[in-house]
Amino acid sequence: MSRLGFEFGILEKMSPGYRDAVTNSVGLDVSEIAVFKADCPLKLPEQLASSVEVYAGFLGNPFSGLKVGYEVPAELGDSQAICFSLTLWPHLLWVVHQQPNGRCWEVGFQQALPKLGTDLEPAVVRPGIWTRSTLQRLSDKHELYDGWDEHAVVRFEFGTRCYEGTFTFGLLDSWRKL
């Protein structure tokens, strides 16, 4: 199973502008990327809640979120955060929340350093850097505008300024001022 196959499979689900920017930055042509995508080990998004062992099979050894300071949000109850590093997004974590019974849920991107400062200038927020949970925490107000688990459009207020972000698997892939 292929780590990059999985990552390019995730990328394929993101907005065209962000997807093209990442694709252009990696230096692979379309046919090379297609080979990796064909080796995606999971059907996305249907198999996102796969077990930690499945993810470890192609992403390598996991580590506990506590090692990087990622705390499980209260709404996820007694889950444990199992984290994986990624090649295309080395500054982020791929987190699988595992319940004590072994069931996995709430799978997606999280900031590697979730305790970022509270002084955020929304005009300079860039796709591919920020996660939904972090921007929600840093905003004065946020509201789900449209979407579902793997894809969501969220509107944010920072003081009197309003922005809209599109998120895929929890990663910001487009951002605009309203």
Residue ranges of domains in the chain: 3-111, 122-177
How far, in Å, CA of 117 to CA of 142, rounded? Answer: 18
Note whether 84 and 62 are within 8 A (CB).
yes
Closest alpha carbon to 52 in 65, 68, 70: 65
Sequence-ordered alpha helix ranges (H) in the chain: 3-12, 16-26, 30-38, 52-59, 132-138
Instruction: Read off φ and ψ for residue 134, nearest 5 degrees.
Output: -70, -45
| pLDDT for the residue 143 | 95
Walk along the chain (178 residues) and give the pLDDT tens digit of each residue.
488 999 999 999 999 999 889 988 998 888 888 888 888 888 888 898 899 999 999 999 998 766 666 666 777 778 888 899 999 999 999 999 888 888 888 899 998 875 666 678 999 999 999 999 889 989 999 999 998 778 999 999 999 999 999 999 999 999 999 9
| Model pLDDT, residue 122 | 93
pLDDT the model gives residue 31: 86
Reported pTM: 0.88
**Residues paired with residue 105 on neighbouring β-strands, in sequence order:** 97
